[in-house]
Structure 1
């Protein structure tokens, strides 16, 4: 399959924060190569509109990541969300010929016909809801299609994998309101207790945008087989994460962790895909790159590497699985999500 003909639907990246907050901790550590004047179209990050368009027809979920600790930004969670969401709108306006926002999940491919990148706005960490559910209506108006309920710590909704509590009573109400607004709940980062609560209270399919298999790599950010099967049975999605720490256990052992370890191989990443396929995930697996928010393998370092990655997946698992994983599963899910 030629590079220009592949279709890509990526459920998660942190590019917006890296660009709009590049000179503020903690973003400056991960965006050290961002320079004043860089924007969504042209930059030295893992994702740019220019390189995405060159790789194929691309739909990208751009997350507003709200860190648990905002003390160095001087912003409250809802203020932080508004700042980054405003940057997203400015970039859409500035680069109209290159990108358009997807407000209806059934319209993803309309952007492709114009040769543009399709952009979905999402939120990572529901902490901006601390002032009440009304922020959800604002997010819906902004075109937010999905919210990761927590990051690693605890917020007003529940707890991430660094904490133990499940969903709060407010979190259960928020989940219900999100479903009413057709904003998809994302359980990546949520701990096991919170996952169980989502499973008990959700009435619509939910997703894990960037989580791998815990049976293959024992990181708590990854999904247990039970959790994957629950998402499968609800008709949700699971995005394969390219972060090395969620692919191979050796990056989570000892004090050095990443230091001195050999790079992750395609075989190691493919073990996660293969395991999810063994669990009946052929219509569930998708892409959840975590680009511009994590350390990825050298051979999967940005948009320019996606055609070669697609070729590897197609060679190992077949063209049908590659097309489903790279695009069709996510596109079908978000089209269904518009239905009552």
Structure 2
């Protein structure tokens, strides 16, 4: 049996939307969510990520995002209230499943969490719009254990502008970044537009990440990174999580934010590997990671959930070598978050 087949698989995924899919399933007015059976939770559910299937696939550390959509019409919630609801759900799940879910508040404890079995869980936020209520919300997030925050989603908030808009970062946004850096809360630039990225480079000092963004040189979607942006992240010692969302992998699915239309071809492993290959050409072996966007996007049929990660690892290792696969699947992210506590 080959070395690839026998060594234990370790997985560190920088982004998923599983919390929203579980917690906000009764508030479908703001977004289309899959219907899930009553009693589903983080451990057992029919979504792409369920801890029981994740633990079977390998030793798994997952960043669970609280995604706050730009449009909350129909929910009856403010952005801050939305955050509070999902954060409370997350902490309730950790308390209810102490053997299966292990919360990680310090990147240096990842190894210890995984040694207990189950899934290591890191809380993150996608869209800083709850900070409309003020900087104290960021301190609340830090107290809640949030380790990373995507500054914006596709629109504009008090911090900055997303890729559907044109403005850069605000003065308040710059102060948010400085406060995040003091708290060792990682800045995530996925969804940030090009003007905002340049502003972030000018106002930040610590490494930052793009949790779920691909290469714009391969697929010209504004959610993907230019070579300049990828190199800037790499030069800072940051991470870029490969996104499995079809529309960010191949231009065959268009430049909109919709799902693939009838008759459009499947995204292949080759399509996704072109992004990885290009990032490796940019000297990115120490930068690339996983950023699945599971439970928040339509992914290829061959990469449809936790159960497909062992085969995905074999494909990556077979094409790029086991060292690249190990770095991409786990090592780079684990080292980054441990190092983040020391900087």
TM-score normalised to the size of structure 2? 0.96
Distance 1:21 1:182, change over 3 A: same
Alpha-carbon distance in structure 2 between the residues aligned to 1:79 and 1:15: 18
Range that drifts further, 246-255 or 216-225: 246-255
CA-CA distance at 1:116 after TM superposition: 2.0
The residue aligned with 2:44 is 42
Alpha-carbon distance in structure 1 between the residues aligned to 2:193 and 2:130: 19
CA-CA distance at 1:69 after TM superposition: 0.7
The reply on whether 1:24 has 2:39 as its aligned counterpart is no
Give the 5 Å matches for 1:256-295.
257-295=260-298
The residue aligned with 1:119 is 121
SS in 2 for 1:29: coil
The residue aligned with 1:221 is 223
Alpha-carbon distance in structure 2 between the residues aligned to 1:122 and 1:226: 26
Asked whether the equivalents of residues 105 and 337 of structure 1 are also in contact (C-alpha less than 8 Å), the reply is: yes
| Structure 2 residue corresponding to 1:241, chosen from 228, 231, 243 | 243
Asked whether the equivalents of residues 246 and 260 of structure 2 are also in contact (C-alpha less than 8 Å), the reply is: no
Distance 1:259 1:184, change over 3 A: same
The reply on whether 1:199 has 2:198 as its aligned counterpart is no
| Structure 1 residue corresponding to 2:153, chosen from 151, 154, 157 | 151
Asked whether the equivalents of residues 15 and 211 of structure 2 are also in contact (C-alpha less than 8 Å), the reply is: yes
| Structure 2 residue corresponding to 1:321, chosen from 297, 314, 324 | 324
Alpha-carbon distance in structure 2 between the residues aligned to 1:45 and 1:246: 21
Alpha-carbon distance in structure 2 between the residues aligned to 1:259 and 1:240: 25
The reply on whether 1:209 has 2:211 as its aligned counterpart is yes
Asked whether the equivalents of residues 154 and 162 of structure 2 are also in contact (C-alpha less than 8 Å), the reply is: yes
Q: CA RMSD in A?
A: 1.4
Distance 1:119 1:271, change over 3 A: same
| Structure 2 residue corresponding to 1:178, chosen from 177, 180, 199 | 180
Alpha-carbon distance in structure 1 between the residues aligned to 2:29 and 2:65: 16
Asked whether the equivalents of residues 22 and 28 of structure 1 are also in contact (C-alpha less than 8 Å), the reply is: no
Unaligned ranges ≥5, structure 1: none
SS in 2 for 1:81: helix
CA-CA distance at 1:174 after TM superposition: 0.4
Asked whether the equivalents of residues 53 and 116 of structure 1 are also in contact (C-alpha less than 8 Å), the reply is: yes
CA-CA distance at 1:136 after TM superposition: 1.1
Range that drifts further, 156-165 or 4-13: 4-13
Asked whether the equivalents of residues 30 and 73 of structure 2 are also in contact (C-alpha less than 8 Å), the reply is: no
The residue aligned with 1:135 is 137
Deviations 1:246-269 (A, max 9, x none): 000010169985321111000000
Deviations 1:123-174 (A, max 9, x none): 0000001111111111111110000000000001010000000000100000
CA-CA distance at 1:25 after TM superposition: 2.3
Unaligned ranges ≥5, structure 2: none
Distance 1:4 1:88, change over 3 A: farther
Distance 1:119 1:292, change over 3 A: same
Asked whether the equivalents of residues 244 and 291 of structure 2 are also in contact (C-alpha less than 8 Å), the reply is: yes
Asked whether the equivalents of residues 16 and 64 of structure 2 are also in contact (C-alpha less than 8 Å), the reply is: yes
Asked whether the equivalents of residues 263 and 297 of structure 1 are also in contact (C-alpha less than 8 Å), the reply is: yes
Alpha-carbon distance in structure 1 between the residues aligned to 2:116 and 2:232: 37
The residue aligned with 1:14 is 17
The residue aligned with 2:167 is 165
Asked whether the equivalents of residues 213 and 291 of structure 2 are also in contact (C-alpha less than 8 Å), the reply is: yes
TM-score normalised to the size of structure 1? 0.97
Alpha-carbon distance in structure 1 between the residues aligned to 2:33 and 2:250: 21
User: How many residues in Structure 1 have an aligned counterpart in Structure 2?
Assistant: 339
Alpha-carbon distance in structure 1 between the residues aligned to 2:331 and 2:90: 25
SS in 2 for 1:238: strand
Asked whether the equivalents of residues 216 and 227 of structure 2 are also in contact (C-alpha less than 8 Å), the reply is: yes
CA-CA distance at 1:122 after TM superposition: 0.1
Distance 1:334 1:72, change over 3 A: same
